[in-house]
Amino acid sequence: MKRFFLFLAVAFTALDCFAQTRDWVTTWATALQIAEPHNRPPEPGLAANSFRQIVQVSIGGKAIRLHLSNLFNADPTDILGVEVAVAKTMGASPEIDESTTVKLTFDGHPSVTMAPGASVVSDPVPFPLEDRMNLAITIQYGRISSTLLTSHPGSRTTSYIADGYTSDFSAPIAETNHWYTISSIDVKPRRKSAAIAVLGDSITDGRGTTTNGQDRWTDQLSKSLLSDPATRNLSVLNFGLGGNCILRGGLGPTGQSRYARDLFGHPGVKYVILFEGTNDLGGSRNGMATAEGIKEVWAKIVEEAHAMGIKVFGATVTPVRGNGYYSPDHEAGRVALNEWIRTSGVFDGVIDFDKMVADPNQPDRLDPAFLYENDWLHLNAAGYEKMGWGIDRKLFR
């Protein structure tokens, strides 16, 4: 008979919360935004139906807890039941290993209602989570908004809707490549562990990767870290949002408005990677002025992170020549920003994605071998593999 852990609400100091620890560490997370009209759930929707979402965690452990969010919903959301199980695929089907199914509770109850703007965390439950395990999260919904709702549009993973309150997904009635409601998963690790949180845009979100392939550059970094005994204790948290900007405009909450929640709001974070700027620069009227604005935000984040004992690595902005974002003015801003990232001394280390993926014969554009749909901005799966495995693991030792 499965035995549930009691959930204890513990008040952590900043240093306790972010130190390497055997306490809770977030193993998977995603950035949240309002679902745009074309990214809302397909008919018949989520209300009074069941929804199965599949995620691939980074590090394993002996117990888990799930965070759900109603951050952008205008109405209450009724969660009638939640189950987790080992998924048989990375998202290509809703199949699970039914023998691994565990029902989650919230303050001892199987159901919970989230008020608008609220979030909830499940009671901890024993679960033998393995590194890079595919986990299926099945939510049975009561009421939920069909318009303003909390989502992550760029899941690159297929989710499934089943009719009514059920755990049977043998014949799903709809599917969609988006996530809703889920925000993060914490794990009780088997060894001292910590997390790396990444702030980014569509390149981090995985535009150009393989749907149900789990091959974003952050996934590749996780695999690289797990291959090394010195870094196998680190999870990687992807807070990339497609079309996102740091300063203003773009899609979703701006980087400067969301970084505190995404980077500092999860247990176990010891490292941060800052990798944004493409959309700010590409949409700007003054590349150099935009670069200066990004520098100010990056320096502020570094200062706050250092006060909590967190190291921050700056990642250079990748080339865009050939894309509509490119102009001599925008390129001047990108070059200036990258030079500052490399030489300012503000960061604890530098990840030079620009040099990793640039065309060696024309460094203001991507290497053609890494192009996705010839848009000269996003990379293909090979490019993301180059990025993830190209990061020096010594930064995290």
Rg (CA), the chain: 20
* Token pair listed for 190: 């088997």
Asked whether residue 100 carries a pLDDT value surpassing 50, the answer given is yes
The whole-angstrom separation of Cα 17 and Cα 23 is: 9
Which of 16-25, 99-108, 112-121, 171-180 bottoms out in mean pLDDT, i.e. has the lowest? 16-25
Helices (H), the chain: 14-18, 202-205, 217-226, 255-264, 278-282, 287-307, 328-343, 353-357, 381-390
Q: Which amino acid is located at 390 in the chain?
A: G
The predicted model scores a pTM of 0.94
Give the pLDDT confidence of 324-341 residue by residue, as tens digits. 999 999 999 999 999 999
Give the pLDDT confidence of 7-34 residue by residue, as tens digits. 223 233 333 344 566 799 999 999 999 9
| 27 phi and psi angles, rounded to 5 deg | -105, -20
Overall size of the chain counted in residues? 397
Asked whether residue 203 carries a pLDDT value surpassing 90, the answer given is yes
Distances (CA, A) of 344 to 338, 347, 386: 10, 8, 26
% of the chain at pLDDT higher than 70:
95
Cβ pair 129, 113 in contact under 8 A:
no
Cβ pair 379, 203 in contact under 8 A:
yes
The whole-angstrom separation of Cα 221 and Cα 240 is: 14
Average pLDDT, the chain: 94
Asked whether residue 215 carries a pLDDT value surpassing 50, the answer given is yes
* Token pair listed for 175: 């599917």
Which pLDDT belongs to residue 22?
72
